[in-house]
């Protein structure tokens, strides 16, 4: 199959996946319990989108980025000098929804404290890699500015996954609200910029990227996919902690600009929605294959690539299965594939068996936090991670 034919086939597969799944998920299953029922494929961010278009077109992006660079903590006042329209939007966007439950958010951290290692692995090697077989996301990432500097782009995504796991994620001293609002600004900028990219428009089946449905698909690649894997691994999770984990991601969805009528109210509703919006769209694309290769090669600077790519590839196959591994051209690993298949279950059993001991949760948290900080340090190359609004697409 020549490259042109192959590209057309891959693109057609992605289009059929998107168009073949009509929106039938009921708004009654959402956190809002009601809604207009509009197909989220054709809904974007009506508040953020016109603002960022104006900010970009009037040349204010460098000024806004410079000022927002100093806004790091949830409770921190916004920097003086922000354009009035940006300030007004951010002040509204940073407010927690009325339905946010601080007790559930505390239960989410109790869950993270015990199972942070699993979460870190799954955010990186299940959620991170599955994103490369989500056609809309893969193309949006590849052709936007972040696609040209993937290590930096991944560090910013990793920051969101790290911030949601912290003890005070949504409290004034935390950083998750800041991370979400800045990410929402970036998404709005990408919606304005990518339709100007001939590379993106040449492959896209959308008028603009990052629709509400796209955001939902990405959302399900995180908590829904992670909880599905934890359930498959038979990890016993108290109901309060499971609901708390979901709630932390419900609040995250709201802060990222997902409308409440689309945010699932329960795990049952989340799984039902994922079956409609995530599972049917998974497909390989040239852009996704290229991104997956970049992700798997990120560890090469640590050990020369001799070990890291083999381990990461094997773990991707272990968590996502043979079909997705084949799509991404991940070779089988004669040592690591069988080792993970036989050793991961006993490893979980030992780790879970030690949890009842009084010092175990704190010890686990300390070790897991060290690994997370080390990963962020590697990805950021020792520099502060700053989520910034783009003002251009990926260079041709």
Tokens encoding 154: 């991944």
Tokens encoding 149: 């500097």
Spatial distance between the Cα atoms of 258 and 256, rounded to a whole number of angstroms = 6
Residue 297: what pLDDT? Answer: 86
Q: Note the pLDDT tens digit of each residue in 180-216.
A: 999 999 999 999 999 999 999 999 999 999 999 999 9
Spatial distance between the Cα atoms of 277 and 217, rounded to a whole number of angstroms = 6
Q: For residue 329, is it left (φ>0), alpha (ψ between -120 and 50) or beta?
A: left
Q: What is the pTM of this model?
A: 0.90
Q: Note the pLDDT tens digit of each residue in 275-288.
A: 999 999 999 999 99
Residue 105: what pLDDT? Answer: 97
Position of tokens 């204010």? 60
- DSSP letter, residue 127: I
Position of tokens 């970049």? 294
Residue 81 sits at φ, ψ, to 5 deg, of: 100, -10
Position of tokens 């041709």? 396
- Residues of the chain whose pLDDT is less than 50? 1-20, 305-306
Tokens encoding 344: 């991961």
């Amino acid at each position: 199959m020549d490259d042109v034919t192959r590209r057309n086939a891959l693109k057609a597969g992605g289009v059929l996946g998107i168009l073949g799944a009509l929106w039938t998920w009921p708004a009654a299953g959402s956190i809002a319990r009601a809604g207009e029922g509009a197909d989220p494929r054709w809904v974007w961010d009506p508040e953020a989108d016109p603002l960022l278009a104006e900010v970009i077109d009037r040349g204010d992006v460098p000024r806004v980025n410079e000022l927002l660079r100093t806004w790091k903590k949830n409770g921190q006042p916004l920097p003086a000098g922000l354009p009035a329209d940006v300030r007004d939007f951010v002040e509204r966007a940073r407010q927690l929804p009325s339905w946010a439950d601080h007790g559930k958010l505390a239960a989410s951290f109790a869950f993270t404290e015990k199972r942070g290692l699993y979460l870190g692995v799954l955010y990186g090697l299940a959620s991170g890699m599955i994103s490369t077989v989500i056609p809309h996301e893969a193309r949006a990432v590849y052709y936007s500015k972040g696609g040209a500097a993937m290590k930096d782009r991944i560090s910013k995504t990793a920051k969101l996954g790290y911030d949601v796991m912290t003890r005070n994620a949504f409290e004034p001293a935390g950083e998750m609200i800041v991370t979400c609002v800045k990410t929402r600004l970036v998404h709005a900028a990408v919606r304005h910029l990518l339709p100007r990219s001939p590379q993106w428009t040449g492959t896209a089946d959308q008028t603009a990227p990052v629709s509400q449905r796209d955001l939902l698909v990405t959302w399900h690649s995180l908590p829904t996919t992670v909880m599905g894997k934890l359930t498959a691994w038979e990890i016993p999770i108290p109901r309060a902690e499971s609901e708390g984990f979901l709630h932390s991601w419900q609040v995250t969805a709201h802060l990222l600009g997902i409308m409440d009528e689309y945010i699932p109210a329960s795990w049952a509703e989340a799984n039902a929605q994922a079956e409609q919006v995530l599972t049917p769209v998974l497909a390989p694309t040239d852009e996704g294959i290229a991104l997956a290769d970049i992700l798997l090669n990120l560890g090469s600077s640590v050990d020369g690539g001799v070990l890291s790519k083999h381990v990461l590839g094997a773990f991707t196959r272990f968590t996502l299965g043979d079909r997705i591994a084949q799509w991404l051209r991940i070779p089988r690993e004669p040592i690591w594939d069988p080792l993970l298949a036989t050793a991961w279950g006993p490893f979980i059993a030992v780790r879970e068996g030690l949890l009842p001991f009084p010092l175990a949760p704190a010890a686990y948290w300390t070790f897991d936090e060290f690994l997370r900080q080390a990963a962020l340090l590697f990805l950021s190359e020792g520099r502060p991670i700053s989520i910034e609004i783009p003002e251009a697409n990926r260079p041709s």
